[in-house]
Amino acid sequence: MPRYLETYMIVSPRYITAGFGLLLGSLLAGCAQMMEGQASQCTGTEQPPSRLLLQQVSDNSAIIQWRGEANSVCLGEKANKLSMRVEAVEEANHKIARVTGLKPDTRYFYSLGGSGNAPQGQYFSTAPKTGQLPADGNSRIWLIGDSGTASVKDSKTGKSKYPWQAKAVKDGALKFISEQGGNEPIDALILLGDNAYPAGTDQEWQAGLFEVYPNILNKVQTIPTIGNHEMGVSHLDLCTVIKHPVCQKGPMVKLIPGASQSADPDTYDSTGDGPDGTGLPYLDIFTLPTNGELGGVPSGTEQYFSMDYGNVHIVSLDSQLSVIDPDQRQAMRDWLVDDLQSHQQDWTIIVFHHPPYSKGRNHDSDEEQREIDMRELFTPVFEQYGVDVVYSGHAHSYERSWYLNGHYGMSNSFDAARHTETDSSGSPSFGFSDNPYPQISAVSGKDDKAVYTVAGSSGKIADPEDKAKVCGPNQTVFCIREDWLSHPAHRSFDKVAEDYLPNGIERLGSVLLDVSENQLVSRFIDDKGNVLDHFVITK
């Protein structure tokens, strides 16, 4: 009851009947007038944006972010009756509307520019309350790695070198959802890095992300992590990765996208002429929770952060910049320990770009320092504090580990009997639906194991010219390695098709994650909508 109504009733009891009627009528008239005023603010014209995404969607708030002429957003629970108007502020060349006062687990339709009617298909749902499940009992998260290839230009034709691959992966995931996934919508989109090629410029983000996934970005929040191609271009001595006669005469230095060795985002260089002076476009495009806005311990940086969604805790780490500087790496590790110790959610998901276990065609976790550091320094933390699943990209293929604990060395040190959850026969367990992984290990009696997945084939697999060459001595890129996709920490595959290798699959695809109260299901879905691998963890 409004304070002035309480006061009126206390001070004037003898007029309570007549007074209440008059006051109630006045109050209702005022409310009607207020609602009419709100509605009148949402009677303009929809102004379509050139890019649009949702950020930091909580149980009572959301950030709607776009680039275009509109300066406000109108929202409502009915598509044809938007009455809540929020003005935007401009930050980093984007319009940002911070919407508060929303109801949990509720669908809101919205328009840009003041229209009272939402365009068809333009809506989002708020998160359930922290620790709870959505009304449908399941949180659905879509993960795509190295998907930003639509922005790569062919040097000879000037046209897109990969014009259909990312779209085909998207269509495959949506086909699975409609035909086998109960038509349940996606609740969050996770980017595993390299989602704009080749240098992560603003224009490449436009072509590689915003123009490929517009009807997903306008419905679900995007949760990214930094990849090597987000950090521009750099000069690299190719003699360190290939064997070539020219190398006998000295270094062969070339400008290579994604080769930066800097830990400073301000050194971002899109052309090779030196720092642009703008920093990473990635950090301008995304508005990330640095202060614990969505749960988790504040990180103080957009390079790594954490958040809750219902009963899921999501952590995005920085394996590109922070990990190569000893002080920054230690700060990120200390923060991670604090964060994992503090949250109380049922499930924990970790994402970063460089996989700790991989024998990808051009990326080997035995040789690349970032992967080695993530494995040696961070996987022990994951296992100590009950992380369930870890997802990375970088290698343009699919690999998925056994249920691991304690393997921090090179691939040749892997011992299935010591490092995996085994089945009744003593063999590593696949974690399929008929014999899922227990969150509390049957071997150790602790929540101390995790599954590590490489999902970097959402935009391309190997180029044809790379498939034609076998790597020579000291050559690690632009060729086929003898141990390609044969990391023993990853589950084995039968040779059912040409692109099935001993411990991985080289096929376009993405990962769909379904998380309920007592079960987590991870599926690798190819560009045709087929499930090629899955595993289940049960509480």
496 burial type by CB count under 10 A (0-12 exposed, 13-18 middle, 19+ buried): exposed
The pLDDT-based confidence of 330 (bands split at 50, 70, 90) is very high
Neighbour count for residue 19 (Cβ, 10 Å): 16
Write down the pLDDT at residue 474. 66
pLDDT at 467 over 70: no
Taking only the tens place, the pLDDT of each residue in 487-522 is 999 999 999 999 999 999 999 999 999 999 999 999
Residue 375 has pLDDT above 90, yes or no: yes
pTM here?
0.91
State the number of CA atoms in the 13 A half-sphere of 342 facing the CB. Answer: 16
Q: What is the mean pLDDT of the chain?
A: 90
Q: What is the mean pLDDT of residues 349-378?
A: 96
**Contact assessment for residue 217 and residue 53, using Cβ atoms and an 8 Å cutoff:** yes
13, pLDDT greater than 50: no
pLDDT by residue (tens digit) across 262-297? 999 999 999 999 999 999 999 999 999 999 999 999
> Residue 57's pLDDT is what?
98
How confident is the model over 97-113, as a mean pLDDT? 98
The angle that helices 3-11 and 16-41 make with each other, rounded to 10 degrees, is 170
Backbone angles phi, psi at 370, to 5 degrees: -60, -45
Judging by beta carbons within 10 Å of its beta carbon (0-12, 13-18, 19+), is residue 393 exposed, middle or buried?
A: buried
Question: Quick check: 36 pLDDT over 50?
Answer: no
Q: Distance between CA atoms of 369 and 319, rounded to whole angstroms?
A: 10
Specify the pLDDT at position 12.
30
CATH 3.40.190.10 fits 51-125, yes or no: no
Report the CATH architecture of 139-538.
Answer: 4-Layer Sandwich (3.60)
Backbone angles phi, psi at 85, to 5 degrees: -110, 135
For residue 476, the model assigns a pLDDT of 64
Q: Which of 189, 272, 197, 271 is nearest to 228 (CA)?
A: 197
**Whether 214 contacts 52, CB under 8 Å:** yes
| Residues listed for the chain | 539
pLDDT tens for each residue of 412-429 = 999 999 999 999 899 999
Rounded to 5 degrees, φ, ψ at 533 are -160, 155
- Cβ-based neighbours of 412, under 8 Å, separated by 6 or more: none
Q: How many whole angstroms separate alpha carbon 290 and alpha carbon 308?
A: 13
pLDDT digit string, tens, across residues 115-134: 999 999 999 999 999 999 99
- At residue 164, does pLDDT exceed 90? yes
Q: Distance of alpha carbon 373 from its chain centroid, rounded?
A: 21
Write out the two tokens for 154. 């062919």
pLDDT at position 439? 98
Per-residue model confidence (pLDDT) at position 251:
83
Compute the distance between CA of residue 70 and CA of residue 42 in angstroms, rounded to an integer. Answer: 13
Does residue 33 surpass a pLDDT of 80? no
Is the pLDDT at 41 greater than 60? The verdict is yes
The mean pLDDT value for 372-390 works out to 98
- Report the candidate in 522, 501, 376 with the shortest Cα–Cα distance to residue 452: 522
Determine the Cα–Cα distance for residues 514 and 531; give it in Å rounded to an integer: 14
Q: Is the pLDDT of residue 220 over 70?
A: yes
Coil, strand, or helix at residue 533?
A: strand
Q: Give residue limits of the domains in the chain.
A: 3-41, 51-125, 139-538
In 3D space, the residue among 455, 421, 425 whose CA is nearest the CA of residue 532 turns out to be: 455
